[in-house]
């Protein structure tokens, strides 16, 4: 079953669980989240985009509040540091994002590509397994208290596999 149909089936089951009559559902529309496909240039001149606006969302779970906060902090710092040179704000902001969240997002995106390249229900099983085996670490990632760097040993294992 294709991903879109799986999502629709899950949504339909969720609506039934909530006991919402079908007559109250008139039109369904959706839009994909950026899931780690951040913008290389997060703004223009002295206009800085933060959070979802520049694609800063967790590549695995789609969580974006942490990245919205971190990018807002970086935008404020860039604005303050480039007060007398407003045209430097974007380059300073881009540099700060690379130092704070972009490296982490790149690593998480690799994990997402590995997990979601698995067939059928396996991506779900991998995520559930991670949540069961390392619940506190996963919770800390979702809350922005920890980065994806704790998965690096797994990355090394994947890199050393002979396929």
Q: Is 129 helix (H, G, I), strand (E, B) or coil?
A: helix
Q: What is the structure's pLDDT at 51?
A: 92
DSSP, res 34? -
Given this model, what pLDDT does residue 36 score? 67
Low-confidence ranges of the chain (pLDDT < 50): 155-163
What's residue 161's pLDDT? 40
Predicted local confidence at residue 162, as pLDDT:
41
What's the pTM value of the predicted model, to 2 decimals?
A: 0.64
pLDDT score for 91: 95
Cβ atoms of 39 and 71 within 8 Å: the answer is no
Query: What is the predicted pLDDT for the residue at 158?
Result: 44
What string of H, E and C letters represents the secondary structure of 55-92? CCCCCCCCCCHHHHHHHHHHHHHHHHHCCCCHHHHHHH
| C-beta separation of 33 from 62 below 8 A | yes
Task: Provide the token pair at 86.
Answer: 């407003």
């Amino acid at each position: 079953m294709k991903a879109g149909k799986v999502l629709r089936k899950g949504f339909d089951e969720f609506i039934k669980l909530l006991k919402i009559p079908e007559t109250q559902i008139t039109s369904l529309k959706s839009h994909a989240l950026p899931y780690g496909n951040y913008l290389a240039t997060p703004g223009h001149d002295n206009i800085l985009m933060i959070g979802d606006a520049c694609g800063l969302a967790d590549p695995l779970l789609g969580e974006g509040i942490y990245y919205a906060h971190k990018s807002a902090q970086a935008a404020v710092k860039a604005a303050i540091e480039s007060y007398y040179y407003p045209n430097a704000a974007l380059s300073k902001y881009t540099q700060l994002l690379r130092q704070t969240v972009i490296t982490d997002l790149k690593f998480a995106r690799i994990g997402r590509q590995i997990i979601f390249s698995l067939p059928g229900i396996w991506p779900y099983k991998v995520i559930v397994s991670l949540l069961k085996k390392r619940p506190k670490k996963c919770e800390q990632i979702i809350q922005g208290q920890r980065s994806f760097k704790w998965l690096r040993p797994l990355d090394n294992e994947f890199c050393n596999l002979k396929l």
